[in-house]
Amino acid sequence: MLSRFLDHLEEWLIAFLMGAATFVIFLAVLHRFLAGVPLLQDWMVRINVSWAQELCIYMFVWMAKFGAAYGVRHGTHVGVDVLVRALSPSKAKVMVLVGLAGGAIFTAIIGTLGARFVWENGFHYALYHALGIAGPDLFEGPTSPDLEVPTWIPYACVPLGSYLMCFRFLQVGWAFITTGQLPHHNHGHVEGLEEDVTDQVASPAQEARA
Amino acid sequence: MNTLIIFSLLVVLMLTGMPISIALGLTVLSFLFTMTTVPIESVALKLFTGIEKFEIMAIPFFILAGNFLTSGGVAKRMIRFATTMVGHYYGGLGLAGVLACAMFAAISGSSVATVVAVGSIILPEMLKQGYPKKFSAGVITTSGALGILFPPSINLVIFSIATSGMSATGPNGEPVSTASVGQLFLAGVVPGLCLSVLLGITTWYRARKYDYPRMPRASWGERWTAFREAFWGLLLIVVVIGGIYSGIFTPTEAAAIAAVYAFVIAVFVYKDMKLVAVPKVLRNAAAMSSMLLYIITNAVLFSFLMTSEQIPQAMAAWMTSQGFGLVVFLLLVNIILLAAGNFMDPSAIVLIMAPILYPVATKLGVDPVHLGILMAVNMEVGLCHPPVGLNLYVASGITKMGITELTVAVWPWLLTMIGFLVVVTYWPPLSLWLPHLLMK
């Protein structure tokens, strides 16, 4: 139940961030054009869109971290599989598990480093102030140049995304141990072809991909 | 010594089949942790700031634009237009395949999707007209790779990102400015057209030799109708290149506009896509972009390690001390890249190799733009050459031919591509002429 909710949240979040970032940059470009039109000029210069680029970057970085976690569950991450394909099934299985464990370890380390960074650069301050228990010598942390939000908020995607990704690696690893199945992503899928000819396509990078 | 440790570690990790991004990240972490005093905290920050650049955001936008237009309907329009233009020559449908692949690959941005989309529509048609299976498969497998050179090429954006901000010096110690996305896009056009023509000539020559069928010549009226249908898709290339070159937008803005444009064309003009399908396209584009952005983040970490260990500089010094000239260096670059093409995805190769090769190349007097195009052509060849070119695998799926059989089938076109690679490598004006003409 909770897991299903998490799956949907992840899917909707990345789709929303992709669409919203496109819309924001489109509006910013449109604004620049309209600011050149004499009739609209006065009205346009009053709207400030200098934050658009920064917002777009933050949205895409968030998308990248959560999309990477989504990618683990759906097998989009490309790997090198020449060796794994050459090995006997039992040895290949060990290799795949080593690969998945590597992913889990890496994301766990990064998540922890990120969490510490976020904590020390403003979250600690924000939390203790919100709770009203702040000491006098807490570091407030920097704010971003255009949006002027505390930087720990956008940076929070590193611990959140990495821990989620770590969870996904463990989940995929567990599914692989119990069922022997790995998620498989079809990079050559094309909409609107009469028959889906691509289902049997096995690309070298897909079979043993984690 | 450190170089050896870093690279062996990377290769060992990659061979387990773990994602390339994770292998890169783990290499950096374990090296920093055991061998240096660089504070490991700086790594977490780099994971955010590594991709905190507006230039990099061109990649998700271009992927989104491509995903909107990667549909069977768009492929059909390109094939119809190409057939009316070149169908009446020898091997007409094969030539149309080359042209359609070039156009579809340019706007979809994915060579694998091109082989699938154009291949699964045109291959049955070719077999029906009496072309041998080997010939048909050979044309589509190799032509599908053409997209890497045409704007908007994600591979060229990645090259620009991988080398941007690097301080490199020329042969006489003067600073060299890195290649911009705009320059690279313009530089790719002429080589891209040349390679398309060469693949076309190969097709035509073999078709004439074995007397493969021709189609009736289309009237100008039919051509005009087919062109009007294909026009809206092809305009995407004009919007991107025109917008960047005229200075109306930055490359990233051009990419965002391209994504909005592709959405409007797919949903309201071509009507291939229903509005309810848009969230799915967004989600797929987001997943693909995240995969690339995750590799980029870790590749940034990796090149940070390379720079802090002074590895590219050491290699440059070694190269010059061995008395290797430009000719030998470029030959080595080609061999390394073609070998890497056997194991890795093109984007990952560019991300790992470009920062290493770049300082050495500029030291020997190679223009950064030329290096970018050279790498792009290498990636095209790498997609089609045995044993593990990605296009070969995809084509094997849709043609139901084995890899060995396909390897034999692609030879004439693959040889053409390798010949072309030599020309691109040793004749820089082919890539540099257009950007120099327009941007200086």
In the predicted structure, residue A204 carries a pLDDT above the cut 50: no
Question: Is the pLDDT at A1 greater than 50, yes or no?
Answer: yes
pLDDT for A59 equals 93
Model pLDDT, residue B325: 81
Top residue of A191, A195, A206, A209 to mutate, by most chain B CBs within 10 Å, is A191
Mean pLDDT for A127-151 is 76
Q: How far apart are CA B172 and CA A188, in angstroms?
A: 47
Closest approach of B169 to chain A, Cα-based (Å): 31
What per-residue confidence (pLDDT) applies to B200? 94
Q: What is the mean pLDDT of chain A?
A: 82
Short-list A15, A169, A65, CA closest to B48: A65
Question: For residue B19, which residues of chain A lie inside 8 Å, CB to CB?
Answer: 77-79, 99, 103, 209-210
Token representation of residue B37: 């005093």
What is the nearest CA distance from B51 to chain A, expressed in angstroms?
7
Test A208 with B397 for CB contact under 8 angstroms. Answer: no
Report pLDDT for A199: 44
Q: Of the candidates A57, A117, A185, which has its C-beta nearest B54's C-beta?
A: A57
Chain A contact for B260, CB < 8 A? yes
In this prediction, residue A210 carries a pLDDT of 30
Query: What is the model's pLDDT at position B440?
Result: 62
Contact A64 B61 (CB under 8 A): no
Q: How far apart are CA A94 and CA A84, in angstroms?
A: 9
CB contact under 8 A, A193 and B64: no
Tokens read off for B419:
């010949």
Pairing mode, if any, of strands B175-176 and B168-169? Answer: antiparallel
Each residue of A154-193: pLDDT tens digit?
A: 888 889 999 999 999 999 999 999 988 888 777 777 777 7
CA B132-B138-B143 angle, to 5 degrees, is 135
Nearest to A2 by CA among A180, A171, A173: A171
Q: What is the structure's pLDDT at A194?
A: 62
Which residues are within 8 A (CB) of A110 and not within 5 positions of it... i.e. 6 or more apart?
A: A158, A162, B25, B43, B44, B47
- The Cα-based distances of B433 to A118, B186, B439, B440 in angstroms read 49, 9, 10, 11
Q: How many residues does chain A have?
A: 210
**CA pair distance B384, B392, nearest whole angstrom:** 6
List per-residue pLDDT tens for chain B, 440 residues long.
778 888 899 989 988 888 899 999 999 888 888 877 777 777 767 777 778 888 899 999 999 999 999 888 899 999 999 999 988 888 889 999 999 999 999 998 888 889 999 999 999 889 888 899 999 999 999 999 998 899 889 999 999 998 887 777 887 778 888 889 999 999 999 999 999 999 999 999 999 998 888 888 888 989 999 999 899 999 999 999 988 888 888 999 999 999 999 999 999 999 888 889 899 999 999 999 999 999 998 988 888 888 888 888 888 788 778 877 888 889 989 998 988 887 788 888 999 899 888 988 888 889 999 999 999 999 999 888 877 778 888 888 888 888 888 888 899 999 999 999 999 999 999 999 998 888 76
**CB distance A78–B20 less than 8 Å?**
yes
Q: Which of residues 2-21 of B touch A (CB under 8 A)?
A: 13-21
Token pair 């949006």 is found at A147
Sign of CA dihedral B168, B22, B158, A207: positive
Q: For A118-127, what is the mean pLDDT?
A: 81
Place of tokens 């984690």: A210
Percent of chain A with pLDDT over 90: 31
- The first and second tokens of residue B265, run together, are 């064309």
pLDDT in tens, A11-26: 999 999 999 999 999 9
- Asked if pLDDT for residue A144 goes beyond 90, the answer is no
Chain B residue at shortest CA distance from A17: B286
State the pLDDT at residue A195. 53
User: Which one-letter DSSP state was computed for residue A200?
Assistant: G
A29-49 per-position pLDDT tens digit: 988 888 877 777 777 777 777
CB–CB contact B57 A81 (8 Å) = no
Q: Which residue has the tokens 């010094």?
A: B317
Q: How far apart are CA B311 and CA B317, in angstroms?
A: 10
What number of C-beta contacts closer than 8 Å exist between A and B? 256
